[in-house]
Structure 1
Amino acid sequence: MRPRTAVVIGGGITGLATAALLSREGLEVTVLEKQPETGGRAGSWETGGFRFDTGPSWYLMPEVFDHFFRLLGTSAAEQLELVRLDPGYRVLFEDTAEPVDVAATRDGNIALFESLEPGAGARLEEYLESAEEVYAMAKKRFLYTTFASFLPLLRPDVLRRGPRLARLLLEPLSTFVARRFTDPRIRQILGYPAVFLGSSPFTTPSMYHLMSRLDLADGVLYPMGGFHRIVSVISDLARAEGSRVITGAEVTRIRTSAPAAAKSRRPRFPRRKPRAVGVEYRDAAGSLVSLDADLVVSAADLHHTETALLPRALQTYPEEYWEHRVPGPGGLLLHLGVQGQLPQLEHHTLLFTRDWEANFEKIFGQETSVPDPASLYVCRPSATDPDAAPEGHENLFVLVPVPSDPSLGAGGIDGAGDPRIEKMADAVIEQLSSWAGIPDLAERIIIRRTVGPQDFVADLNSWRGTLLGPAHILKQSAFFRGTNASRKVEGLLYAGGSTLPGIGLPMCLISAELVLKRLRGETGTEALPEPAPWAAQVSSSQLPGGEPPAPQPSAEAGT
């Protein structure tokens, strides 16, 4: 019997994680990555002795990482050197001289909140208890499900909490927080996790107050070697399981077979759907290559997958669907190599503007514009990791949420980006210099690279240049986020931040597991057992749509 084959589009963390799981399941897997290196949003850029992570930089939900590694017969402790950050992060507020350092422990943060607002410590305890309960429910019933069936959700624990869950879904996070806390600094600290979800606290459902359990109770970790270290580890595990990874391979279309005739000749029985039989891609030399596969998994941007890689008739999510979706923010990114030390900044530092709601309205409102001043985020990995920068220097990664608008432009090295992007970067450097008390910051920068929304389109095929993916507002969360299986093409599955379960590195690992659950026909809501009972080979009945057709000899064999 011919071994079953799969092709995974995209060599970011989701694509590599999916490949590792499918290879361990017994499939022969090929990963196709457009860029010269794997990583996607979680990439790396090195120059002059500096090593910059180009994307994610918060290590949260550590149990999700460990569960994924255990599915592959290892653990996070074996694969990564994790350091707990203390403080977890620092917050600088506009027109407020004293920073607020968020502690590494739950008790430390209860004491911190009490110092900011009398009585807030006890209220934070209640807030975190609620967050922990909702987080546990989310992991057990909503994150690890494909929503292929809703029957597993009809459990007593879900039904019993139904009225409360409904309230949490309908009330914005900002309102939920404001009813409990008065101090504007506390409100901003508790509202900021909405940004991790690609949204605003004024539109994100209060269900997501569960996020505060991650930073205020569990604490924030950092993987030594940077976040691209995680990509490297998962890539190595995928290859060890037998996956083949090809870089410089840009997929140009998903190939499909003609619809199979139904067994019955009666006209009321429709023909079967077409089936994915492989992909066509352009290799690093520019040649067009056809690759057969029984299963296609796209870990690329879902909008690009649907609207660029499939004909209109086979699109589950055509262009008109996206006209009614809400993107997460775009991003202005700065990678700065700085001479000398920067003790004014912690490993993670957040800058929050006074007019909080107006800042978000400029990013997500009907009439968008770039906030000035902006609420922004700074990562200084050299505070923890000596390999992130040469001795006597600092490494800064700055993220400024901006509208998801590619017309803002692209960045470049040493001021070579589009003028608007570089002007925005100058303003951000000046703001950071002023707020953090680093008057000579601009003069000390020896490495400068900017990235704009247009870069996300060019490099990652990102829908509307969004930094993260569709925002986690109510109509784009849980089963409203869509499905991870095409409704028009058999054997075509989706993974990554633009599909289930959502945005963030932990969600991307869960998304890879959901591909495996869909492949197996698993409709339960809980994570797969550790270790999973791996089959030596997947039977044809386990592949979506049943028995695959014979492999196609060329790109012309089926469209």
Structure 2
Amino acid sequence: MRPTAAVVGAGIAGLATAALLAEEGYDVTVVEARDVTGGRAGSWESDGFRFDTGPSWYLMPEVFDHFFRLLGTTADAELDLVPLTPAYRVYAQPQGPGAGEHVDVVSGRDHARALFESREPGAGAQLDAYLDSAADAYELAVTRFLYDTYESYAGLRDRTLLRRLPALAPMLTRSLQSVIDKRFRDPLLRRILGYPGVFLGTSPYEAPSLYHLMSHLDLDEGVLYPRGGFTEVIAAVQRLAEARGVRIRTGTPVAQIRTQGGRATGLRLRDGEVLEADVVVSTADLHHTETKLLRDDERTYPESWWRKRTAGPGALLLLLGVDGELPELPHHTLLFTDAWKENFQAIFGTRTVPDPASLYICKPSATDDTVAPAGAENLFVLVPVPADPGLGHGGVDGDGDARIEKLADAAIAQIAQWIGVPDLAARIRVRRTIAPGDFADDFGAWQGTALGLAHTLRQSALFRPRNASAKVDALLYSGGSALPGIGLPMCLISAELVVKRLRGDRSAGPLAEPARTGG
């Protein structure tokens, strides 16, 4: 008989874990509390508009490629990937009544160097050195850090890694922003290099400078978009899981992880049904898993542990269906305030909503004609806010909590002014807001964070929660809360780390891919 596995959660981590476990020979059942799969990478439709409600940047394509090859296919075979040019546009805060200054960031070393040199003489050469270092750090991360379960520290004792410690140590002890500020003077260039800290759920003033590797992804490698939206990524992973016999049960919340003799034996569902399993993998929010699904004596990460940790930011999301075209916005746009440091201090320090905020806009209708009616635009707006469910809940057509809707109005007004479209608010046909209270209710998100544990030094790599319980055998973890961290690529790696843990594979690198046959 095949060993059995029960997976909690049908987001990308749960579906990917299920697919890989089925490929390993497990009989897998996935249970999902919500009525749909996808988790944070969800979808919402209204009046001919279709919105992704979560991730919108397709970065680290080699991680997706590797995952799909483990299952005998490729990203190109499963997805219709479109390169974005420009990769994104950046608007500076206006200095008067008109629109703000903007620059387009085009991927590729030559384009990036030319942009930097045009704004600051000598910055092109500085960028070359910066991106060379970023590429080296990225290679180090993929081969030495991201695919390591840290079940042992053998990978950290590797001679090749030890030889690189003199260069690596300063990257861990200096902040990302401090390294950027030392090399570049132009405020907009500094922010282009610093904003990826938000992708990591933290401030560039707190992120270790090792994470300058993120600039290798958008400036050197490029940015892609899966046509049809990120739900197509979810659909592809789900398709591969189901093709291997994985059963996916939606609308099936879990009440408890069952244990016997210190070992996980399955799940008790909220309706009382018992689902037995040889292995349990929870991809739910780790705080929810540890504090709601386990007894006090079974918790590796009790409340006392969480009180000492830093949450990533919360998010105010706006899903806007807009009549008429908006050529002022390409697929990705970032608005950067002059009060850059104060913005992050408000979110992570005083835990107040910055005004105005540095924010992000995705306009997938720039690339994809399936997401909005003809002659209209689809906008996804993300305003970073403190991780605090007390900020309230969103709603449709302005029926969210008053404070949330007022913040949304302010964000719309800010966008209208900064990009020079004064009638933006009047052209909105569809409007939905999503707030930290929704993240807490819908996903059990700790403190209502949109991302999870911030990638500070003490919450990265070997300092991040491990992917196996220290108290309960056969209980493993996957997803953004655990190793290796935040984002769709990290969630795919976390699924692979479950397989490595079960195999007893303590190597630092990715699993070997099966040999391909045919063309």
Deviation at 1:400, TM superposition (A): 0.3
Please list, as runs of the form range in 1=range in 2, the aligned pairs for 1:139-178 lying within 5 A after superposition.
Answer: 139-178=142-181
In structure 2, distance between residues paired with 1:532 and 1:471:
37
Within the candidate set 130, 133, 147, 1:130 is matched to 133
Q: Aligned residue for 2:229?
A: 226
3-state SS, counterpart of residue 382 of structure 1:
helix
Within the candidate set 287, 302, 315, 2:286 is matched to 302
Q: Deviations over 1:29-48 (max 9, x none)?
A: 00011111000010111111
Q: Indicate the structure (1 or 2) with the bigger Cα radius of gyration.
A: 1
Deviation at 1:289, TM superposition (A): 1.4
Q: Is the 8 A contact 1:84 1:104 kept in 2?
A: no
3-state SS, counterpart of residue 273 of structure 2:
strand
3-state SS, counterpart of residue 401 of structure 1:
strand
Within the candidate set 393, 401, 414, 1:418 is matched to 401
Q: Is the 8 A contact 1:10 1:33 kept in 2?
A: yes
Within the candidate set 326, 345, 348, 2:310 is matched to 326
Specify every segment of 5 or more residues in structure 1 that has no aligned partner in the other structure, as ranges: 260-273, 534-559
In structure 1, distance between residues paired with 2:168 and 2:319:
41
Q: Aligned residue for 2:12?
A: 13
Q: Aligned residue for 2:343?
A: 359
Q: Is the 8 A contact 2:180 2:193 kept in 1?
A: yes
Q: Is the 8 A contact 2:315 2:435 kept in 1?
A: yes
Q: Deviations over 1:378-432 (max 9, x none)?
A: 0000000000101111000000000000000000000110111000000000000
Within the candidate set 490, 495, 517, 2:500 is matched to 517
Q: Is the 8 A contact 1:71 1:532 kept in 2?
A: no
Deviation at 1:151, TM superposition (A): 1.3
Q: Deviations over 1:171-213 (max 9, x none)?
A: 0001010111010111000000000000000000000000000
Q: Aligned residue for 2:73?
A: 74
Q: Deviations over 1:446-493 (max 9, x none)?
A: 100000000001100000000000000010000000211000000000
Deviation at 1:152, TM superposition (A): 2.5
Q: Aligned residue for 2:33?
A: 34
Kindly tell me the number of residue pairs found equivalent between the two proteins: 512
Please list, as runs of the form range in 1=range in 2, the aligned pairs for 1:66-465 lying within 5 A after superposition.
Answer: 66-95=65-94, 97-257=100-260, 259=261, 274-282=262-270, 287-365=271-349, 367-465=350-448
Please list, as runs of the form range in 1=range in 2, the aligned pairs for 1:474-489 lying within 5 A after superposition.
Answer: 474-489=457-472
In structure 2, distance between residues paired with 1:54 and 1:185:
28
Q: Deviations over 1:277-330 (max 9, x none)?
A: 000113xxxx32110000000000000000000000000000000000000000
In structure 1, distance between residues paired with 2:48 and 2:70:
36
Runs of 4+ in structure 1 off by over 3 angstroms are: none
Deviation at 1:532, TM superposition (A): 7.7
In structure 2, distance between residues paired with 1:217 and 1:349:
18
In structure 1, distance between residues paired with 2:423 and 2:274:
55
3-state SS, counterpart of residue 252 of structure 1:
strand
Q: Is the 8 A contact 2:23 2:71 kept in 1?
A: yes
3-state SS, counterpart of residue 40 of structure 1:
coil
Give RMSD over aligned pairs: 0.9
Q: Is the 8 A contact 2:331 2:365 kept in 1?
A: yes
3-state SS, counterpart of residue 255 of structure 1:
strand
Specify every segment of 5 or more residues in structure 2 that has no aligned partner in the other structure, as ranges: none
The one-letter amino acid of 1:227's match is F
Q: Deviations over 1:132-151 (max 9, x none)?
A: 01110110000001000111
Compute the TM-score of the two structures, normalised by the length of structure 1: 0.91
Residue identity over aligned pairs, in percent, reads 61
Q: Aligned residue for 2:510?
A: 527
Q: Deviations over 1:468-522 (max 9, x none)?
A: 0000001000000021100000000000001100001100000000000001000
